[in-house]
Chains A and B, each alone.
Chain A
Amino acid sequence: MRFGVLQFPGSCDEVDALHAARRVGDAELIWHGERDLRGADAIIVPGGFSYGDYLRAGAIARFAPAMESVIDFAREGGLVLGICNGFQVLCEARLLPGALLPNVNLRFTSRQVELEVLYSGGSFTAACALGERLSIPAKHAWGRYYAEPRTLEAMDRSGQLLLRYAPGENFNGSVHDIAGVCNERGNVFGLMPHPEHAVDELVGGSADGLKIFESMRLAVEGARA
């Protein structure tokens, strides 16, 4: 199992994602200017402020040469995980429905949040139990998930709403408390909280985030078997 972690100028959490992925498999960084994904089984688009995020979070990064390859990779069914800024990039790239808007408090906010697992199975949450709570840090200024009501209904019907903020935890104002969504095919997943910062009790406050990476490993190895 081999992860590729994209690195843009302005990425901040790429090394954290790299180390988290290495807990379940091999992982290496992929420079934004490269088109070769070097045979990765799964791609992580990490958190940070790609290209400074001065225009709109993720708006520039989606045009990076590496992202063009990631878009092709996703269309072929490859697993793609977008965390925080990576989620924003995947929405900008139209690999995921919806958009991330400024938090309702209009401030960067950093908090350990409780998430509820809405779907147990598939490529990203198979290692979680339905209704299980995950304690994972979130830290962002643009994390309010929004999609049109019709889109949301369709997503709900096809099981694309994977994680939501537990009651009282939705500080950014996301619609329906949505914290993480996948595409219809189920191979592209984005979330605002940072599972890569919750893989080690010592520094993460919990190790619940590991379940996301573990699920991805199960999906890749299951597909091979």
Chain B
Amino acid sequence: MPENATLPTLEDALALGLTRGEYELVCEKQGGPPNLLELAMYSLLWSEHCAYKHSKKLLRTLPTDGPSVVMGPGENAGAVDVGGGLVCAFKVESHNHPSAVEPFQGAATGVGGILRDIFAIGARPIAVLDSLRFGEPHGGPGTRTRYLLDGAVAGIGHYGNSIGVPTVGGEVYFEGPYEHNCLVNAMALGLAPRERLMRSAAAGPGNVLVLFGASTGRDGIGGASVLASAELGDDGDGGEDKRPTVQVGDPFEEKKLLECSLELLERSLIVSLQDLGAAGLTSSAAEMASKGDVGIDIDVATVPLREPGMEPFEVMVSESQERMLCVVEPASVAAVLELCEKWEVGGAAIGTVTDSRRMRVLRDGELVGEMPVRALVDECPLYDLQPAKPAQPVYRRPVGTLAADAGVREALLALLASPNIASRRPLFERYDAIVQSRTVRRPEQADAAVLALEDGSALAVSIDCNGRRVAADPYRGTIEAVLECAANLACVGAEPLGTTNNLNFGNPEKGHIAWQLSESVRGLGEACRALQAPIVGGNVSLYNEGATGPIYPTPVIGMVGRLPDARAAGRLGFARAGEQVALVGPFEPSLAAGELDKLRGEPLPDGLRELDIDAVRAAHVAIRDAVRAGALSSAHDIAEGGLAVALAECCLAGSVGAEVDVGTVDVGALDVGEGGPGDDLAGLFGEGPGGFVVGGSAEALRELGPRVPVRVIGTVGGDALTIVRRPSGAPEITISLDELAEVHNGLAEMFS
């Protein structure tokens, strides 16, 4: 090991986020105390963000294989076969803590990072979706939630719009527990010819490492350990002192990087490719070396820098954006650098692949750090969780905004106006959803985004997770999130091919969070197995807590499916006056943990109702088949706000009214609404998996009957939603489309 004047101490290691035990293990692996560079590199690669040390054991229980899977977890992104010689690469990733500190750049670089993951495996990005969580937006302009929301939405738009990748969908929820720890998860999809898929393993000792893209600066130093792997303190300024650790994004640079990378692959000029994300060169180079079972030498003096005087450890850990690392055969280096010049991106040979299985860092040829690759990448200790179901409720009761005795009309209007249900138009209008000319279904036209493929088929994609329901029951809530995504796909006629997930949780060293995490992963595995939608990749974001407690456990699910005929893609809006409206599926609504209960200030229940995954899946299959056959004019999955909200959404999306009689809707024997058994609000506003509102001809609905429960409840037509409840004699409720639209536009004022 090279000599150093003063070696860092245990205290330095602790400050960098390592534990005492981990530091001692580093010393053992190194055969003595590490120098500053080595310690910095270990601290990053052994951080939660890079090593998954609290989640890896759980993640190993997930199903990762299936008939469509082409590339599973472990690469930059997963990929599934979509026919016609093409694969779809996709992945979701979080940028939570950077966004809490600086929402615009945090969200923008989140999008930039996930796009690089996609083109690193050789796929051209074709779509972005995002999943956002903020605190309650009430309280007028200038509040923290509005600042974060506005910044994050602007950041996502800035990056996605400028790079020419459409933002085709997403979801956002507003809940108290996210107030001090917002979530910004971004998902991207890409397409690649199957034979062009690129892996990241470095190979061929003697080959050259070329770093290309932006130059390297001091931005984002220590992001992975400082931001991503610790709780955000309540320092009253929202993490002001951490701002220098947030990276700054440049979508124009990334656009050039994208085109350059794809052309390098097309011309077969490179052996392997990896993006630089968290922990910069350190993790990219070390992971490439580990996967290829080789060593790597990097000379930091050859790395193009933004500013002079950077220390070797700064060069190695910088998280400057828009950079890629590739392995090139010596004979191709000149051609690679020439192509970089064409696309006006920087390119430099910075190192070589060796057979030493050691990561060696040099400066002008002088050794300044050396570590065994295995120790650095694969030998971080993994921890067993100590799950303990909490004896007391973890989350505060929400502040009620709707009187417990509010009637149906008042409740429906309040739900439609509530931030979790109101129209997302003010958000998605800030995104380009149509560039690349593939978008068959734009936001609010269908439950899932639909993207046409050249052979006439289409991909469908959905992202979802209701954290409040996961908080009430991490196991069943997570199953519901997976079922919700699959239901969204079914409504456009798509069959699931694969799943990605982003596990956003609090501090796993605490028993109740460990319990949430392990229960959630158990549900995730079970649901994905049942739906044959294996997990092909994902991300884990832990330590999402502030001084006021943890976030709701939020296992964000992204699911990709395929439908044979893009032209048959389903819509959610009622289509034709005179057609019938039916409630389809094994739907057993309950108010518990639902949106109405939240508005009424009800606490979370301890557990959700039992569910039958197979029965729900059978309903998905029936809906999917009917949509594909063109038998249904509209299909919409019942989610937040229950049947009544779903009906209103179908009316609004189709610009046509409906009259329904919900008096016969069975709410099941287990109803737990405020009014006790028989509280008829549960039938209208209760939530649960397995329910759909469909529109179609009487004949089409009759044909659906034998396969799945179908209850015809009304007729499409008119310019109002009318709800009657025979035979109870309860008063009829009629709300005009105009009034529905007006209350549903509740988020618009936040963007005015």
Complex: how many Å from CA A204 to CA B452? 12
Distance to closest chain B CB from A31 (angstroms): 9
Is A68 engaged at the interface, CB distance under 8 Å to the other chain?
no
Residues from chain A with Cβ under 8 Å of B566 in the complex: 202
Q: How far is the CA of A78 from the CA of B481 in the complex (A)?
A: 56
Q: How far is the CB of B141 from chain A (nearest CB, A)?
A: 15
Stretch in contact with the other chain, from A103-111, A147-155, A172-180: A103-111
1/0 per position for B431-452, CB-CB distance to A under 8 A?
1111111111010000000001
- Report the separation of the CA atoms of residues A107 and B436 in the bound assembly, to the nearest whole angstrom: 22
Question: Which residues from chain B contact A109 at a C-beta distance below 8 Å?
Answer: 429-430
Flag whether A126 is at the interface (Cβ < 8 A): no
For B252, give its contact among A10, A19, A108 (CB under 8 Å): A10
In the bound complex, residues from chain A placing their C-beta under 8 Å from that of B442 are: 205
CB distance from B563 to the nearest CB of A (A): 13
Cβ of A9 and Cβ of B256 under 8 Å apart? Answer: yes
With A and B bound together, what is the CA distance between A52 and B163 in angstroms? 9
Q: Is there contact, CB below 8 Å, between B251 and A49?
A: yes
Chain A residues within an 8 Å CB radius of B251? 49, 52
User: B residues within 8 A CB of A111?
Assistant: 429
What A residues does B351 contact at CB under 8 A? none
Q: Mark B417-439, 1 if CB is under 8 A from A, else 0.
A: 00000000000111111111111
- Number of A-B residue pairs at CB separation under 8 A: 85
Supposing A49-B252, A54-B252, A203-B452 touch, asked if A197 and B430 sit within 8 A by C-beta, the answer is: no
Report Cα–Cα, A104/B566, bound state, in Å: 37
**A102-124 vs B: 1/0 string, CB under 8 Å?**
00000111110000000000000
Q: Determine if B252 and A16 form an interchain contact, defined as CB atoms under 8 angstroms apart.
A: no
The reply to whether B344 and A13 contact each other, CB–CB distance below 8 Å, is: no
- Chain B minimum-CB-distance residue to A198: B434
Given A12-B164, A49-B252, A111-B429, A203 and B157 contact (CB-CB distance below 8 Å): no
Note all chain B residues with C-beta closer than 8 A to A205. Answer: 442
User: Known contacts being A49-B251, A109-B429, A202-B567, is A137 close to B434, with CB within 8 Å?
Assistant: yes
- Residues of chain B lying within 8 A (CB to CB) of residue A202: 440, 452, 566-567
Q: Is A2 an interface residue (CB 8 A)?
A: no
| Interchain CB contact (< 8 A) of B430 among A48, A51, A110, A137 | A110
Tell me whether B256 and A16 are in contact (CB under 8 A).
Answer: no
Question: Cα distance A211–B99 when bound, in Å?
Answer: 44
- Report the separation of the CA atoms of residues A108 and B439 in the bound assembly, to the nearest whole angstrom: 19
* Tally of contact residues, A, Cβ under 8 A: 30
Q: Taking the complex as formed, is B722 at the interface, i.e. its CB lies under 8 A from any CB of chain A?
A: no
Q: Which residues of chain A come closer than 8 Å to B438, judged between CB atoms? A: 203
In the complex, A133 has a CB within 8 A of chain B: no
Residues of chain B contacted by A51 (CB below 8 angstroms): 252
Contact across chains for B163 and A12 when beta carbons are under 8 A apart: yes
Q: Known contacts A51-B252, A52-B252, A202-B567; is A16 also within 8 Å of B429 by CB?
A: no
Please pick, from B161, B252, B255, B344, the residue contacting A139 in the complex, using a CB distance under 8 A: B161
Q: Assess the A107–B255 pair: CB atoms within 8 A.
A: no
CA distance A139 to B251 in the complex (A): 17
Give A137 to B435 CA distance when docked, in angstroms.
10
Whether A9 contacts B437 in the complex (CB less than 8 A), given A52-B162, A109-B430, comes out as no
Q: How far is the CA of A63 from the CA of B218 in the complex (A)?
A: 33
Distance, CA A42 to CA B255, complexed state (A) = 27
Q: A9-B343, A52-B162, A202-B566 are in contact. Are A110 and B433 (CB under 8 A)?
A: yes
Interface membership of A15, Cβ < 8 A: yes
Inter-chain contact A16/B162, CB cutoff 8 Å: no
B86 to chain A, nearest CB (A): 17
Contacts of B751 in A (CB 8 A): 107
Given contacts A15-B436, A202-B440, A203-B440, contact A48 B429 (CB under 8 A): no
Per-residue contact bits, chain B 648-680, to A (CB 8 Å; 1 contact, 0 not) = 000000000000000000000000000000000
Q: Which residue of B lies closest to A51 (CB)?
A: B252
Q: Say yes or no: is B22 at the interface (Cβ < 8 Å to chain A).
A: no
Q: B430 and A108: CB pair below 8 A? A: yes
- Per DSSP, chain A at the interface is mixed
B293 within 8 A of A: no
Return the CB mask of B277-319 against A: 1 if under 8 Å, else 0.
Answer: 0000000000000000000000000000000000000000000
How big is chain B's contact interface, by range? 20 to 34
Q: Nearest CB to that of B260 among chain A residues?
A: A9
Interchain CB contact (< 8 A) of A48 among B158, B164, B253, B567: B164
- Look across to chain B and name the residue whose beta carbon is closest to the beta carbon of A20: B437
Is the Cβ of B439 less than 8 Å from the Cβ of A203?
Answer: yes
Cβ–Cβ < 8 Å partners of B250 in chain A: 52
Q: Which residue of B lies closest to A109 (CB)?
A: B429
Asked whether A197 lies within 8 Å of B437 as measured between CB atoms, the reply is yes
CB distance from A8 to the nearest CB of B (A): 10
Interface residues of A in 115-145 (CB under 8 A from B): 137, 139
B432: chain A residues within 8 A (beta carbon): 12, 108, 110, 139
Question: Smallest Cβ distance from A197 to chain B, in angstroms?
Answer: 5
For chain B, residues 395 to 429, give those with C-beta under 8 angstroms from any C-beta of chain A.
428-429
Map CB proximity to A onto B152-173 as digits: 1 under 8 Å, 0 otherwise.
Answer: 0010011001111000000000
Q: Which of B157, B163, B434 contacts A108 (CB 8 A)?
A: B157
Contacts of B158 in A (CB 8 A): 108
A51 to B431, CA, bound (A): 20
Q: Are B255 and A204 in contact (CB under 8 A)?
A: no
Within the assembled complex, what's the spacing in Å between the Cα atoms of A87 and B161? Answer: 17
Query: CA–CA, A120 to B363, complex, Å?
Result: 69
B440→A16 contact, CB < 8 A:
no
Choose one: B344, B433, B439, B440; the contact of A9 (CB below 8 Å). Answer: B344
| B252 in contact with A197 (CB, 8 Å) | no
Closest to B438 in A: A203
Chain B residues whose CB sits within 8 angstroms of the CB of A9 once the complex forms: 252, 255-256, 259, 343-344
> How far is it, in angstroms, between the C-alpha of A197 and the C-alpha of B343 when the chains are bound?
26
Q: A9-B252, A16-B437, A54-B252 are contacts. A49–B162 as well, Cβ < 8 Å?
A: yes
Q: Output the residue of A52, A53, A109, A205 with the most chain B CB within 10 A.
A: A52
Tell whether, in the assembled complex, residue B436 and residue A16 are in contact, meaning their CB atoms are under 8 Å apart.
yes
Considering the complex, which residues of chain B in the window 694-752 have a beta carbon less than 8 Å from any beta carbon of chain A?
751
- Inter-chain CA distance A111–B162, complex, in Å, is 17
Alpha-carbon gap, A10 to B254, bound state (A): 9
Q: Are A197 and B434 within 8 A (Cβ)?
A: yes
> Which residues of chain A have C-beta atoms less than 8 A from B440's C-beta?
202-203
Q: Nearest Cβ in chain B — how far from A15, in angstroms?
A: 7
Contact B162 A139 (CB under 8 A): no
Residue A110 contacts which of B252, B255, B429, B437 (CB distance < 8 angstroms)?
A: B429
Binary contact track A139-171/B, C-beta < 8 Å → 1, others 0:
100000000000000000000000000000000
List B contacts of A11 (CB < 8 A).
164
Task: Tell me if A107 and B162 are in contact (CB < 8 A).
Answer: no
A-B contact pairs, 6 of them (CB 8 A): A9-B259, A52-B252, A53-B252, A110-B431, A110-B433, A203-B437
> What 6 A-B pairs have minimum CB-CB distances, sorted nearest first?
A52-B252, A12-B164, A49-B162, A16-B437, A139-B432, A10-B252
A residues engaging B (CB < 8 A)? Answer: 9-13, 15-16, 19, 47-49, 51-54, 107-111, 137, 139, 194, 196-197, 200, 202-205
Having A10-B252, A16-B437, A19-B437, one finds 14 other A-B pairs with CB under 8 Å, namely A10-B255, A10-B256, A15-B436, A53-B162, A107-B154, A108-B430, A108-B431, A110-B428, A110-B429, A139-B435, A197-B434, A197-B437, A202-B566, A203-B439
